[in-house]
Structures are given as structure tokens and as C-alpha cells.
Amino acid sequence: MVQEGPIVFTRRASGLVREVGIFSAIAVGLAHTIGGGINNYMVQMPYTAPGSNVPIAFVLGAVVVIFTAVAYSMLGVAMPRTGGDYIYISRAINPILGFITSWGFWLTELLSIGIVAYIDIPFFGTAFRIYGSASGSESALSISTTLSENEAVIVSLALLLCMFSAIVLILGSRIYTLIINLAVFAGVIGSVAMVGYFLIRTGQPYNELWNSVYGAGSYEKIRNNPDAVAAWSGVTHNMGATLQARIVAVWAYIGFTAAAYIGGEVKNP
């Protein structure tokens, strides 16, 4: 008599419609990863960890993360169900442990999403400041100051951004993935345009480029500030600072697991 194996799932089908394509699944992972760690904290690395080599810090961070990414990929293919950590841990180890870890992840996600929404708003302020400086628009500069320095406005807009995201999620995976796809596509186009512009302007001295945006003499004023000179004089790349910056790099990679949480909705996992 053939014995039945242990029951992993009580039903062969989850009941969810598999309408998320491969591009959308990749976009979900990219959108969850490319955020505060890369756009905000990476830029601050030379300041928070003087002497750090940012590219090497990200390479070292990738070495740590890649093994987890491979494990998630294999688990996602083996158990293509919506739920991520809860599914994998509850089926492979213990249901209670899966419940506890998934709740812990949910709470940290709430915190991280709120933080990212909060640091997103000043980016709009930066955009208005660059536009205002280049065009001479006083109203744009005023909006920039409000979005960058007014704490009440920043918090209020961050809350609105979180509520908008919640509404999008409530509307279902089709609307959600459509918006994610458009956002990622726009981000890719913007990034390519930015890199292309930098390559075109590479031959021009950095101080001239800075002054053309922020005003004549602004680069020299910052560079010759006595506090800045005393703080940064003689700083060179060193491994200690690079390892310190690696912590931020690892955090920047977090989010690559996002697609695993919609495994039951991916067409061909």
C-alpha cells in the first residue's frame, strides 16, 4: 500500500487569479528595492562614513544578500503561493514560527514604508529647487523650501502618499501592477536620461556645473567653509569606513523578496 506524503497545502489551488506577468513580478521587486537605501542613504554614505568606497560597499553588500535571494527564488518556485515568509517557514519548519516571523516582517514593512514616504517628499523639494534655480522662478524656490523644511507639510504629504498606496492595493493586483510597471518604466527612462546627460557633461569642471545650477560662487563658498575644510581634509578611502557603509548597502538591497509575497498571483512562477 502506497503511503501518502505529508500534506503541505490542503488545496491544490489558492483561489487567487494568476494575472501577474514576468515583467510585473520583476517590477514589484525593483520598485520595492530601489528606494530610500539607494536614492537617499547611498548619497549620504561619504558623509556618514567618511573614507568609504561606495561601489565596493555595494559589492560587499551584494555578496551577503545574494545567498538569501537565491534561497527565496528556489522557495518561490517550489511553493508558488502568496504569503512569502509565512508559507516557507510554516510549511518547512513550524506554523507558529511562520506566523510570528510574518507578523514581524509586516510590522517592519509598516515602519520602512513610512520612512521611505517621509524621505520621498524632500526629493520633490529638490526638483523644485533645481527648476527654480535654473529658471529663476521664485515660486518654485518657495515651494522647494516648503517641501524640504516644513515638517508639518512633509509629514502630511507622506501620510497622503501612504494612503494613496493603500487605496491602490485595495483596488487589486491588476491596478497595482499597472501603476508599478508605469513607475518603474518612468524611473528607468529618467535614470538613462540622467546618466546620458552626465556622460555628455563629463568634460566640464564640476565646480562650473554646480555653480550653473546653484548660483555663481556657491561651490567655492561651500568648499572653502572652515568647518568643511577641517572636517574633510586628508580623508582617504579605507576598508573600515567601507564596511560601515556596507550596512546601508545591505539595507538598500532589502525588498528583493517582494515578488515572493504574490507568488500565488504570478502566471508562470
Domain boundaries, the chain: 22-227+259-265
For position 150, what pLDDT does the model report?
92
Is 153 or 39 the better-scoring residue by pLDDT? Answer: 153
Q: For residue 1, is pLDDT > 50?
A: no
Please provide residue 266's backbone torsions phi and psi, each rounded to the nearest 5 degrees: -85, 135
Helix (H/G/I), strand (E/B), else coil: 1: coil
Cell matching residue 231:
572636517
User: pLDDT tens digits for 161-189?
Assistant: 999 988 988 888 788 888 888 888 888 88
Q: In this structure, which long-range contacts are made by residues 11-14, counting pairs with CB atoms below 8 Å and at least 24 apart in sequence?
A: 14/81, 14/82, 14/264
For position 151, what pLDDT does the model report?
92
Please state the rounded mean pLDDT for residues 58-82.
82
Q: Which residues partner with 266 through β-bridges?
A: 20
pTM of the shown model: 0.71
Region of 34 (left: φ > 0; alpha: ψ -120 to 50; beta: rest) is beta
Spatial contact of 144 and 129, defined as CB atoms under 8 Å apart:
yes
pLDDT band of 147, cuts 50, 70, 90: very high
Q: For residue 216, is pLDDT > 50?
A: yes
Q: Which residues of 37-53 are buried (b: 16+ CB within 10 A; e: fewer)?
A: bbebbbeebbeebbbbb
